[in-house]
Amino acid sequence: MTALNTAEAMTPDDRVERALDYRFRDRELFARALTHRSAGRHHNERLEFLGDAVLGYAVADRLYRARPLESEDVLSILRASLVRKESLAEIGARLGLGEAIRLGAGERNSGGHERPSILANALEALIGAVHMDGGEAAAVALVDRLFGDRFETASAAAAKDAKTRLQEHLQAQNMPLPVYAVVAAAGAAHKRVFTVHCRVEAFELEVSASGSSRRAAEIAAAEQALKVLEADHG
């Protein structure tokens, strides 16, 4: 069989595994990671939950090692820019997840295979599945392959922080801007921890987050708000 024929014979799942450079031992786990809730009861949301945590840890660890001179605030901004839904969806599209994701008929007919939130969630589910199938080292190695040199080249100045993205998201829909308020500040003067409350009136959404400065806490709260909005509204 020629190389062309071999490529044509590959299924979307095969192409995803090749792009991941990881072969699943547990095939059911792999299939579940690629199954959207619209396609059945055994979907990928629990794996997405796990993958989100593994991704956050892996990116934080890699940034810590790759950027030894950066402050905590800058590292937090870089991490947020790398793991935001837009970035994950871009990687997911590059891997060919759109063709491999199992979707209900209605979701696929409405273009769900191209929806950024679905691609991003499936990528997180795959990271969680690799963690379950091959362990922490395999999952961290996968994250390293997926992001490549972005850990070294990511720019805090160039990346739109979550506050900016949340503001733009609301402005695009002619909705009121979020309201931020510091609700706590604790710790010694040189090591303060601020807790900020963020309210998005249009969606009756309230979240809180902490950071080593007011700005860092506001960015973290905005990131939490964006995650909720993306999960609820795609």
CB count within 10 Å of CB 32 equals: 21
CB count within 10 Å of CB 231 equals: 13
CB count within 10 Å of CB 189 equals: 5
Catalytic residue among 17, 124, 133, 230: 124
Q: Is 13 among the catalytic positions?
A: no
Q: How far apart are CA 122 and CA 27, in angstroms?
A: 16
Greatest C-alpha distance within the chain: 69
Q: Is 124 among the catalytic positions?
A: yes
**Phi then psi dihedrals of residue 57, to 5 deg:** -65, -50
Catalytic residue among 17, 48, 52, 230: 52
Strand (E) or helix (H) holding 187: none
- Residues taking part in catalysis: 52, 124
